[in-house]
Chains A and B, each alone.
Chain A
Amino acid sequence: MNNVRNKKRANKSLPFFFKDEFKVFFVIIFVSTILLVTTFTFDKVPPILNRGIQPATFPKGLLVLIMFLTAVIYFLSFKNPWKKEKKLPKPFFLTILSFILFIIISKTLDFFLAISVLSIFVSYNWGEKRIFYLLLVGILFPLVVFIFFEMILGLRFPPGIITNLYYY
């Protein structure tokens, strides 16, 4: 109980733009505004073909609703501040980094290689240092999954330096 109170107090002492409530409010309003502006670029349907409402009207309505409700939760948070979340640890950022690596490798080199690299990277950074287990999660298991999907579902994976060896 005391911890929660202390956390709330700690959150209260921060300038408003450092508070989680404001960050969430700002991000949602910012993204919604960009999307709302985008809706004005949608093509319009001539009245003769228009059935009911214009294609942009429905998303516009949703975005306005989202912005309104976001404002409501922000103003409600003045009275009841959210509890402050713990700082994110290093493995979280390394996992995010592994996602970025995955995207780069799958786009430029190979899909299978990307899965292997991510698996080994994540497993290692989460504390697995034994070579056998790293090879298990990084090579053996993705290989089994790859072959399983390929044979059972007849899936063709995107071409790449390793995948091509399998197909040709």
Chain B
Amino acid sequence: MMAPLFSSKLLIVLIFGTLFGLILGVLPGLGPTTGGALILPFTMTLDPLSAIVLLTSIYCAGTYGGAITAVLINTPGTPAAAATCLDGYPLAQKGEAGRALGMATVSSTVGGIFSVIVLVFFAPVLAQLAYEFGQPEYFALAIFGLTMLASIGEGSPIKNLIAGAFGILISTIGKDFMTSIDRFTYGINELSVGIGFIPVVVGLFAISEMLTQSTILDQVFKRVALKAVKLPSLDDYKKTWKTILRSSGIGSFIGVLPAEGGTVASLIGYSEAKRFSKEPEEFGKGSIEGIAGAEAANNAATGGAMVPTLALGIPGSATTAVILTGLIIHGVRPGPDLFREQPDFLYGIFGAMLIANVLFFIFGFFGAKLFARITLVPNKILWPMIFAVSVCGTYSLSQSIIDVWIMLFFGVLGFFMRRFGFSVVPVIIGLILGELVEGTLRQSLVIFDGNWFMFLTRPIALTFFILSLIALAFPLLRSKKTKKVI
């Protein structure tokens, strides 16, 4: 299974990807999604397997890297590490930063490896099922994905739906792929090919974050000193092994669902750890179980999110949307045929994810102290540099200055979206699913001779529609129960 990975080139790519992912994860505001989008142009110099190995190793290591900042400066390096702050920082304040990071490292690695096993076994099964899918089923599946994203994603479900619909709307800009009629181009030639994925991702993540950083320049981080990362003691293992396994399962399951992957998984993993704990009163005060629950879950979501990405071509998270773009750019078409025609390629990815989890364990264990120092780079130096890379990276894909302006536009838009409680992740997923949604809808209507009710005669499609309705109703029921604002 890992035969292709025994080449020195791939190992170098893996090591570089893991180190780069850790740096991205450690830096608050950056993360595997932004980093993946920024490095995508560089992957053009690599063969497809190396390119995807690079992106997946960044994904795995970046997700873990967020824990280092969460524990040491009480700021999640990535959104997925937000729950880790709750107990990681209080434990670090008690002088046990090494223990907190040790537990975060071990549980992240176990969660990550668990999810790769899920990926290896579950993705081919899902791909096999997908052979039964026609256009109507894919349409219903894409709708289900978007409704799930709205209902279990972060923030208000209605705002998530608006953001998702907006993402799909962006995908309609340019020439209609079935009739070649211009839509929303306003006579600008460059827009007739549509809006690229990279300018939107870099804008919504990197540039909007730069604007966010400009509003919090007076923020002071209180760093906790770290001597060395310590492996958990036998007592800690005894206390947390069930939590780690439970959270690994939760994370893998949440990851498979199209949602915000690790962020939601870690919050659920954390709350379930608290629910099952014998010492729930310790949560929020430095509970080792809290760290284990959150970290195992967010890293377990990485492999889970790759399942629909590879088997169906439907991303399970924002970062897997970037990986999906990487696959498409390199001429690899995800879906059931990929499993039949290029098993070596797939097993190369699975193996790379497995090794990336081991590598970040080693780098995290021995280098956390060094990585933590990266947070000392001041924003006034860091962000202008990120801007330079963002601009050149965005320009490089199609060598179009319009792409750079689109990136800036989406940067400003992303800032205001986040300011008013709209998540930017549904925009990304909507953009990448847009063509699938519209294409399968229109092709289905051709098959059905324009009769919309024929969708209901297809059992798989009908199942997905019912699941979509349940997904939409879920937040309403939840808000009634918890008085949460939707």
Contacts and interface: CB of A to CB of B under 8 A. Distances in A.
Given A138-B384, A145-B389, A157-B395, 12 more contacts: A42-B181, A45-B179, A52-B441, A55-B181, A58-B438, A66-B165, A73-B159, A92-B214, A111-B395, A122-B387, A136-B381, A153-B44
Contacts of A26: none
Interface string A83-111: 00110110110111001001100110001
Contact of B380 (A62, A86, A126, A153): A126
A91 B405 contact: no
Contacts of B396: 149, 153, 155
A141 B442 CA distance: 48
B162 interface: yes
A28 B421 contact: no
Interface of B: 41-42, 44-45, 156, 158-159, 161-162, 165-166, 168-169, 172, 176, 178-179, 181-184, 186, 210-211, 214-215, 217, 378-381, 383-385, 387-389, 391-393, 395-396, 399, 401, 404-405, 408, 411-412, 419-421, 438, 441-446, 450, 485-486
Contact of B162 (A56, A69, A89): A69
A73 B156 contact: yes
- The DSSP consensus for interface residues of chain A is helix
Given A82-B420, A99-B412, A145-B389, A52 B442 contact: yes
Contacts of B217: 89, 91, 126-127
Contacts of A156: 399
A161 interface: no
Contacts of B176: 55
Nearest to A136: B381
Given A38-B184, A66-B162, A89-B217, A128 B179 contact: no
Contacts of B380: 122-123, 126-128
A73 B385 contact: no
A59 B172 contact: yes
Contact of B401 (A35, A111, A138, A141): A111
A38 B383 CA distance: 38
B421 A69 contact: no
Interface in A18-64: 20, 24, 28, 35, 38-39, 42-43, 45, 49-53, 55-56, 58-59, 62-63
Nearest to B422: A24
Interface centre among A39, A56, A153 (most CB of B within 10 A): A153
Interface in A146-168: 146, 149, 152-153, 155-158
Nearest to A155: B396
B183 A28 contact: no
25 contacts: A42-B181, A43-B182, A45-B181, A51-B443, A52-B445, A53-B441, A56-B183, A59-B169, A62-B165, A65-B161, A66-B165, A69-B161, A76-B158, A76-B485, A89-B215, A99-B411, A103-B405, A106-B404, A119-B384, A119-B388, A141-B388, A149-B396, A153-B42, A153-B396, A156-B399
A135 to B, nearest CB: 12
B384 A55 contact: no
A85 B443 CA distance: 45
